[in-house]
Structure 1
Amino acid sequence: MIRRFGDSPRHDTRYTRRAGVYAILPRNRQLLLTHQADPTPELQLPGGGIDPGESPAQALHREVLEETGWKIGAIRRVGAFRRFTYMPEYDLWAEKLCLIYQARPILELSCPSEPGHTAVWSDWTIAAQELGNAGDRHFVKQLWAKV
């Protein structure tokens, strides 16, 4: 069973399952995050949905590059969780299956190409408190305990 974080599913709502990949990107005791301005400003682990025909690894490389401008390497899966949420940008109630990876930021190639995203370096302790959802905060705390 995959652990759930956040709100319980609403019984009067139909959810669409949406798989996504998200990266914990440590470097020099900091994490590379993305700040998303809309619909609500928040710090996030870089990542997003897996497109049709795309592997999770391909999606992770693409999403991190789009949201941070960085190339990554040495990826390894560290866990997964589910959360039930409304996604206003898609007008969609989603059961998000979040696959969490740890990877190494290798090279900054560009500014983020995803509109409304800004790459941010953050201290682990700040990220563990300020990331936008409880599942992301859980995995950052879990990995931080091993450092």
Structure 2
Amino acid sequence: MIRRYGEPVRADRRYRRRAGVYAVLLSGSEILTTFQEQPFAEFQLPGGGIDPGEHPVAALHREVMEETGWRIGQACRIGAFRRFTHMPEYDLWAEKLCTVYLARPVRRLGPPTEPGHHAVWLPIDEALRQLRNPGDRALLELALR
């Protein structure tokens, strides 16, 4: 059973399942996050949806590059969670199945290519306060153990 975080399931909504991959990217006492401006200004673990036919690890590399501009290596799955949420940018109610990997930030290749995203290094203790999604915080805590 995969643990659920966030909003309760609403009986009056139809949810579409959406698989995604996310990265905990540690370097010393900091973590690389993405700050997304829209639809809500928030810090997140970099990552996102897996395209049809795409391998999850390939999606992880693509999403981290799009949202941070960094190349990553040594991705190792650390856990998964799900959450039920509205995604206004897609006008979609989604059951998000979020698989989280611990990976090494290898090299910054440039700025994020995803509009409205900014790569931000945060001290780990600040990230535990700033990450909006409770599932992101829980998996960061798991990675730190």
Interval containing the TM-score (normalised by the shorter chain): over 0.9
Which residue is 2:103 aligned to? 103
Query: What residue identity is the alignment partner of 2:131?
Result: L
Q: Name stretches of at least 5 consecutive residues in structure 2 with no aligned partner.
A: none
Which residue is 1:59 aligned to? 59
How far does residue 142 in structure 1 lie from its aligned partner after superposition?
2.1
How far does residue 9 in structure 1 lie from its aligned partner after superposition?
0.6
Distance of 1:138 and 1:130 partners within structure 2: 12
Correspondence 1:21-60 to 2 at 5 A:
21-60=21-60
After TM superposition, the score normalised by the length of structure 2 is 0.98
Give the superposed CA RMSD: 0.6
Which residue is 1:115 aligned to? 115
Which residue is 1:16 aligned to? 16
Distance of 1:55 and 1:40 partners within structure 2: 28
Which residue is 1:135 aligned to? 135
Distance of 1:118 and 1:6 partners within structure 2: 24
Which residue is 1:93 aligned to? 93
Q: Give a deviation string over 1:84-131, Cα, whole Å, max 9, x none.
A: 000000000000000000000000001000000000000111111110
Distance of 1:14 and 1:95 partners within structure 2: 9
Distance of 1:126 and 1:142 partners within structure 2: 16
Distance of 1:143 and 1:29 partners within structure 2: 13
Query: How many percent identity over aligned positions?
Result: 59
User: Between Structure 1 and Structure 2, how many residues are aligned?
Assistant: 145
Distance of 1:111 and 1:37 partners within structure 2: 15
Query: What residue identity is the alignment partner of 2:17?
Result: R
Query: What residue identity is the alignment partner of 1:95?
Result: E
Distance of 1:123 and 1:142 partners within structure 2: 16
